[in-house]
Amino acid sequence: MPRVVVTDTNVLVNLIHVDWLSVLGALDGYEFILVDEVLAEITHSEQKTAIQAALNQGYLSSVRLDDIEGLTLFSEFARIMGRGEAASLALAVCSRLCPQR
């Protein structure tokens, strides 16, 4: 079973800047996902293109935060951090992605 890594905007953008986004596909035993709010934070067209390529190639996947517990946490976290960070943290806490759950 792969370890799931919820990625944030700054991680993805930094990997794009150094042309290493594809390294996510080379890491065996890991699955990299991003929430829709992170995808919405990607504003430069070349970065959107790189993210879409990663999604199409399957080494990055997108998920929607849609359960009540997750959305509640998201709204609380979004008061003190960015939307992408808040959604990523809420997803990790609520979705059994964390080993302790």
Above 70 in pLDDT, residue 91?
yes
Above 80 in pLDDT, residue 55?
yes
pLDDT at 43: 93
pLDDT at 99: 46
The pairing of strands 61-63 and 3-6 is unpaired
Above 60 in pLDDT, residue 101?
no
Residues 31, 56: Cα–Cα separation, whole Å: 14
Estimate the share of the chain in helix, then strand, then coil, as percent rounded to the nearest 5: 55, 15, 35
At 96, is the pLDDT very low, low, confident or very high (cuts 50, 70, 90)?
A: low
pTM of the model: 0.86
